A and B are shown apart, each in its own frame.
Chain A
């Protein structure tokens, strides 16, 4: 599957996109990315307790928000594209 990183996530990963194999759900993918890239990627992906995705990002699977799918339990396929985007709310 293809992972697209936006803004500071591309700094964290050292690339703007990469291919990943293996994770069966979005939650598994986030843990894999945190293990692979360590800090600050881990802190940017997860809430302080490490149990939930951070409120400061949104995730798209093939252009659809997780809320329209099955949240972090959304299943992933090898041909999926996942976008990881920080919230940019200021003005």
Chain B
């Protein structure tokens, strides 16, 4: 790699040569290569995270392109994980980038996650977040989460046994997992295969009718929240103090305000409750 690649961050007191070595040794698995995944992947690669995995079973569709800048119109119909891998490899050839073009489930999560230091969630549904959360709690693996809607979004760093888990943060502890809530992008109408992968013709972007059943998403909101998630991941790998300390961070672009919310963990949470000592319960 061009020796000047890291020049501007090497002079940062929080990084320096030792910090850069830590980043280069870091292993991060990103779940989702869409609106959040685009800034996350470029952010992690730019920081020099040495090994990055990309999980996404979907294919690129025209309605992704307002925010998923990993892709171009020519990529429509291609597997996101594979296109994203190729883009990140082209951006930073020295990194080890792996694509997992498969749907995440409990068994794959347990198998894949154990090869990484940190998981970053960039998904569009809470069922997948709960799968990530359960596996990370079982493996005591920290993970970063984020979600968006319209002009707003949140980011969180979840450290099993230290912070509330995802189910605690969103009041889902003990709730049954929904049967399914994976949803392809609404604009990506066409044919879906039996596992929900959207297949679209390779053609020019089309203007689709909006799907009012799904929340709107502004592209730049994904950029903000994805960048915050990447920041949390980089800070964690550098060994910096947890800046959120278990709180949810909210961003409101329409009002240009931010807020932090402390949410108490659920004492009887079946996912993370056993990770806390009796004294803490």
A and B pair up: yes
User: Interface of A with B (CB < 8 Å)?
Assistant: 4, 6-8, 10-11, 16, 58, 60, 63-68, 83, 85-91
> Of A10, A85, A88, A90, which contacts B261 at CB under 8 A?
A85
Cross-chain pairs A/B with CB under 8 angstroms, 22 sampled: A6-B259, A8-B150, A10-B252, A11-B254, A16-B257, A63-B263, A65-B266, A66-B171, A67-B174, A68-B171, A68-B173, A83-B261, A86-B152, A88-B152, A88-B215, A89-B126, A89-B149, A89-B215, A90-B147, A90-B217, A91-B34, A91-B125
**Is B35 in the interface zone, CB < 8 Å from A?**
yes
Interface members, chain B 175-193 (any A CB < 8 Å): 175
Let me know if B148 and A88 touch, CB within 8 A. yes
Nearest residue (CB) in A for B147 is A88
How many whole Å from B226's CB to the nearest CB in chain A? Answer: 9
Interface size on B, residues (CB 8 A): 40
Distance (Å) between the CB of A12 and the closest chain B CB? 12
In contact, A6 and B147 (Cβ under 8 angstroms):
no
Q: Which residues of A contact B123 (CB under 8 A)?
A: 91
Question: With a CB–CB cut-off of 8 A, which chain A residues contact B34?
Answer: 91
Shortest Cβ distance from residue A81 to the other chain B in the assembled complex, whole angstroms:
10
A residues near B151, Cβ cutoff 8 Å: 7
Interface of A is mostly: mixed
Q: What 9 A-B pairs have minimum CB-CB distances, sorted nearest first?
A: A65-B171, A91-B124, A7-B152, A88-B149, A88-B147, A91-B36, A67-B171, A63-B264, A90-B217
What is the distance, in angstroms, from A90's C-beta to the closest C-beta of chain B?
A: 5
Mask: chain B, 211-223; 1 = CB below 8 Å from A; 0 = not: 0001101000010
Instruction: Answer whether A7 and B222 are a contact pair too, CB < 8 Å, given A91-B35, A91-B36.
Output: no
The distance in angstroms between the C-alpha atoms of A87 and B214, with both chains bound, is: 12
Look across to chain B and name the residue whose beta carbon is closest to the beta carbon of A59.
Answer: B171
Within 8 Å of chain A (Cβ to Cβ): is B32? Answer: yes
The reply to whether the CB of B143 lies closer than 8 angstroms to some CB of chain A is no
Whether A91 and B171, one on each chain, are in contact in the complex, defined by CB atoms closer than 8 angstroms, is no
User: Is B263 in contact with A90, judged by CB distance below 8 angstroms?
Assistant: no
Name the distance in Å between A71's Cβ and chain B's nearest Cβ. 11
Best-surrounded residue of B37, B146, B222, B263 (most CB of chain A within 10 A): B263
Report A72 CB to chain B, min CB distance, Å. 13
